[in-house]
Amino acid sequence: MKNILEIKNLYKKYDNFELKDVSFNLPKGTIMGFIGENGAGKTTTIKAILNIIQSYSGHIKIFGLDNRKDEKQIKEDIGVVLDDMFFPEILTPNDINKSMAGIYKNWDSKMFQYYLKEFHLLPNKQIKTFSKGMRKKLEIATALAHKPKLLILDEPTSGLDPIARAEIISIFQKFIEDADCSILLSSHITTDLEHIADYITFISNGKILLSKATNELLDKYGIVKCTEAEFKKIDKKDYVKYKKTKYQYEVLTTDKKSFKSKYDIKVIDKITLDDLMVLMIKGEE
């Protein structure tokens, strides 16, 4: 089994939104950043993986098993952080510890307590007294303490300050030191992903726009900055999208090197995931 998660032709229709033929693979031992604008379909895709929504078509395989037929077995080995969905807030971390011990076969109370200490969370305080960041940390501790093989995290770092984010990201990195484990991580904070994600999958308006190794993406893609006259000379085949700004044209190329050799344009900037998202979504073809 090379891929820990395989999604093939996932399709789901709502009244005002459609998930169209979503397909991508998450290889073992890697972190995949799942990016896209608000309402792009990230959470819907994650809900389908976990069968929180059911009336979709397509195939989802996790650990090589069918996510519907072998649901129970699969879920023993998945840790999740979902956006805004968790234990009722009148419970305490201690209550969660006791409950989870009766839910997961592999629940490790000591490990949970270790994370509580690490994150400075008091075990006897009700969740409702926790700040947003503390809640996220508790959710992450809960997701990790049954030693899952796959972490599915929907916006796990949202609402956290840079120090807490760095702390949590180093925990994720430690997590995939075990070559059998993988993480699917959706986030708006793309700078975090540039550091830790091995792959980037970009979804927009219910469609996967790209799913690639982060290195390849950041090395090969580039933003050409040029004048209108220079832009008019560029062959349409050589760029994906462009955006006209006040003083210049910003053009997205998927191959900096060959672009450079073909055209006499000096400024080709390195791309960031934020640039990529803005140009892909807002740019013109």
Partner 1 sequence: MLGFIKKDLAMIKSNFKLLEILIVIYTLMGICGEMDISFILPFMSVMIMISTFSYDNYNKWDAYAISLPDGRKNSVRSKYVATILMVFIVSIITLLLSFIISYINTKTINYEQILISLLGTIFATLLVLTFMYPIIYKFGVEKARIGIFIIVFVMIIIGSFLAQYLDMTFIGKSLSFLENYLVIILIIITIIMVYLSYKISQKIFMKKEF
- Which residues are at the interface with partner 1 (CB under 8 A)? 47, 50-55, 71-72, 75-76, 78, 80, 82, 84-92, 95-96, 98-105, 152
Strand pairing category for 78-81 and 249-253? unpaired
Shortest gap between Cβ of 75 and partner 1 (angstroms)?
A: 4
Shortest gap between Cβ of 113 and partner 1 (angstroms)?
A: 17
In terms of CB distance, is 129 or 173 closer to partner 1?
Answer: 129
Amino acid in position 208: I
In terms of CB distance, is 16 or 54 closer to partner 1?
Answer: 54
Shortest gap between Cβ of 83 and partner 1 (angstroms)?
A: 9
CA distances from 14 to 19, 20, 48, 211, 246 (A): 8, 11, 13, 24, 38
In terms of CB distance, is 132 or 266 closer to partner 1?
Answer: 132
Cβ–Cβ under 8 Å, residues 4 and 28: yes
Q: Which two tokens stand for residue 259?
A: 């672009």
In terms of CB distance, is 2 or 72 closer to partner 1?
Answer: 72
Cβ neighbourhood burial of 53 (10 Å; 0-12, 13-18, 19+):
middle
Cβ-based neighbour number of residue 129 at 10 Å: 10
In terms of CB distance, is 96 or 268 closer to partner 1?
Answer: 96
List of long-range contacts for 50-55, beta carbons under 8 Å, 24+ apart: 50/75, 50/78, 50/80, 50/152, 53/12, 55/12
In terms of CB distance, is 7 or 78 closer to partner 1?
Answer: 78
Distance CA 193, CA 176 (A): 14
List of long-range contacts for 98-103, beta carbons under 8 Å, 24+ apart: 100/142, 100/145, 100/146
Shortest gap between Cβ of 235 and partner 1 (angstroms)?
A: 47
Shortest gap between Cβ of 109 and partner 1 (angstroms)?
A: 12
In terms of CB distance, is 135 or 256 closer to partner 1?
Answer: 135
Cβ–Cβ under 8 Å, residues 57 and 11: yes
